[in-house]
Amino acid sequence: MTSTARDDSSDRPMLALLMRLAGVAGFALMAAFIKLASETGIHIAELLFWRQLVSIPILLGWAVLAGGIVQQLSTSRPKAHGVRALYGIVGMVLNFGGVILLPLAEATTLGFTAPMFAVILSIVLLRESVGVWRWSAVAAGFVGIVIIAQPGGGHLPLYGAAVALGGAFMIALISIQIRDLSRTETPLVIVFWFAAASVVATFPFMLFVHEPLSAHQWMLVIGIGLAGTWGQVMITSALRFGKVSSVIVMDYSSIIWATIYGWLFFGNLPPLTTWIGAPLVILAGLIISWREHVLARRAFVDQRQATGT
């Protein structure tokens, strides 16, 4: 069926939080598989291709069970899906690259800067006025980044840190765009058309770098696809039932998974600088989320008073 518009009355905050939490767990597992697969010699272009191709049969099966492929996957907003696909492919390249170039915990922590970039984007794209609370949070978060990256003498390659920060910027941009798409499109439609567009876009690049995969490598790329599909569906669904500023708080649980996987699979534990800088980055994101929730609640109350409801 063609998607229909919805309003904010469909928000279900607790369900959105649980979905976001489940999605974060899926993406954390995917990140570990990506790093393991990269260390076996699989090129990033091939990882991107298989990540999305594996998800398509799952999504088609879901559509069939839900009522039919045509009915469930039809869309009246192809241009918006095209923009989402463009943003998403760039975001995947940067986020996969960050995971490959950096230890898992550090790549994950730098990904937490997405709320800070969301504040900047709200000014640029939405012409929103930002007060002292959110500006202070952004400043504190970037202090945390400097502590973690230690420009000029740290344990992290600056190129890798820049790639991870670019990925966080794209997460912020994509979250805003998905929230808009979710007003008329179901999570299944959003995830499917992104996957389909990504497969078409990455296939030519994959052909240039493909080499026969071992059984172990096939298990890793299938794991990447399954974990990534789960994470993407859950996170997209969360944005359908809750606001970005409300659900993004669940993203910080991924640092726990990243630290565990980094230790189990790669023998890496974050150094002292990461333990000092990460709380600043996380605190910044929490302050931004809390402040946006307060402002949204205040706007809702003001609107009800103005309409007399």
Check: CB of residue 196 under 8 Å from CB of residue 56. Answer: yes
The Cα–Cα gap between 98 and 224 comes to: 16
Which tens digits make up the pLDDT trace of 48-78? 999 999 889 988 998 998 888 988 898 888 8
- Selected residue with higher pLDDT from 5 and 80: 80
Query: Domain residues of the chain, as ranges?
Result: 12-307
Mean pLDDT over residues 227-231, rounded? 88
Q: How many CB atoms lie within 10 A of CB 4?
A: 10
pLDDT higher than 80, residue 284: no
Which tens digits make up the pLDDT trace of 138-149? 777 778 777 776
Give the pLDDT of residue 302.
65
pLDDT higher than 70, residue 236: yes
DSSP line for the chain: -------GGG--HHHHHHHHHHHHHHHHHHHHHHHHHHHTT--HHHHHHHHHHTHHHHHHHHHHHHT-HHHHH--S-HHHHHHHHHHHHHHHHHHHHHHHHS-HHHHHHHHTTHHHHHHHHHHHHH-----HHHHHHHHHHHHHHHHHH-TTTSSS-HHHHHHHHHHHHHHHHHHHHHHHHTTTS-HHHHHHHHHHHHHHHHHHHHHHH--PPPHHHHHHHHHHHHHHHHHHHHHHHHHHHS-HHHHGGGGGGHHHHHHHHHHHHH-----HHHHHHHHHHHHHHHHHHHHHHHHHHHHHHHHHHHHT-
The Cα–Cα gap between 82 and 301 comes to: 36
pLDDT grade, residue 4 (50/70/90)? very low
Mean pLDDT, the chain, as a whole number?
A: 82
pLDDT grade, residue 249 (50/70/90)? low
| Cα distance from N-terminal residue to C-terminal residue, the chain | 34
pLDDT grade, residue 159 (50/70/90)? confident
Which tens digits make up the pLDDT trace of 5-53? 444 545 677 788 888 888 888 989 999 999 999 999 999 999 999 999 9
pLDDT higher than 80, residue 177: yes
CA 237 to chain centre: 12
pLDDT higher than 80, residue 118: no
Mean pLDDT over residues 187-197, rounded? 90
* CA distances (Å), origin 143, targets 33, 40, 109, 139, 200: 30, 35, 13, 6, 40
pLDDT grade, residue 110 (50/70/90)? confident
Check: CB of residue 80 under 8 Å from CB of residue 135. Answer: no
Mean pLDDT over residues 177-201, rounded? 88
Most confident range (mean pLDDT) of 103-107, 123-127, 168-172, 205-209 is 205-209
CA 10 to chain centre: 22
- Of 224, 182, 233, which is closest to residue 62 (Cα–Cα)? 233
